[in-house]
Amino acid sequence: MLSYRHAFHAGNHADVLKHLVLVQLVAYMAQKDKPFWYIDTHAGAGAYALDSAYAQKLAEFREGVGRLWQRKDLPAVVKAYVDEVRRFNGEGGLRRYPGSPLVAAQTLREQDRMRLFELHPSDSRSLKSTFADAGKRVVVDASDGFVGLKALLPPASRRALTLIDPPYEEKRDYERVIVAMRDALERFATGVYCVWYPQLARREAQELPDRLKKLGAKSWLHATLRVTAPSADGFGMHGSGLFIVNPPWTLQATLAEVLPYLAEVLATGDGAGYTLEQEAA
């Protein structure tokens, strides 16, 4: 299936969590002079117009990044994320939202490389257009990122940050995440991996974090953000989670500070909250 379009959801509460953490992960990778690769298995269109018909249909950004846009009490880490969105918009209001590749690209250095996969034909064309002037530093591949990841690990630099962020429209996506992560850890155990997943009533979504824990990574961090309680009918996404392998040692303390803030500010109903757990080597 190729029906999923992230344009409907750009800038929502799940993007806030994912991209706030991504800003921290890229900054961590860039602390060393040695180059690294940013790999995105499901990169999307790259950039999203929030005044487009897609974005306006659900207007999820209003309950996500929109709630943070004018606040004066942002914790430093949240402000760093919002500043990246502002940098993408330039002067003026919130009109556009950067996808994960652009969030990462705004911090990447000349010596770093990006490998982006997107299977949806329209989105992959948009992604190529977004990075048309990037030269050889950025390679956009209109193919299955689960398959393409195997050929990239380990990278020549022996340093990489990989985001695995499928749409999870099909049940098999959950299994493919487990297979991809198991293979990635066998090929390149020291890489930094960030798996995003939706919080749903669906059994596969609920079981995914525990399955990831059992893959045997020596160091991992698991963070979730709920904006409301699960619906009585079992439909809809009430939150999202990130499972990060080989996280920065400071990330747990960083998220312990900002997750309570985000749970309060982004809440849309009763039951909003967060979880944070870590296994350190």
Spatial separation of the C-alpha atoms in residues 123 and 128, rounded to whole Å: 9
Q: Does the annotation count 165 as an active-site position?
A: yes
Q: Which residues contact 137 (CB under 8 A, 6 or more apart)?
A: 108, 110, 112, 113, 114
| CB under 8 A, 24+ apart: contacts of 250-254 | 250/28, 251/21, 251/24, 251/25, 251/28, 251/221, 252/221, 252/276, 252/278, 254/24, 254/77
Of these residues, 141, 165, 210, 233, which one is catalytic?
A: 165
Q: For the purposes of burial, counting CB atoms within 10 Å of the CB of 9, is it exposed (0-12), middle (13-18) or buried (19 or more)?
A: buried
Eight-class DSSP state of 76:
H
Catalytic residues: 165
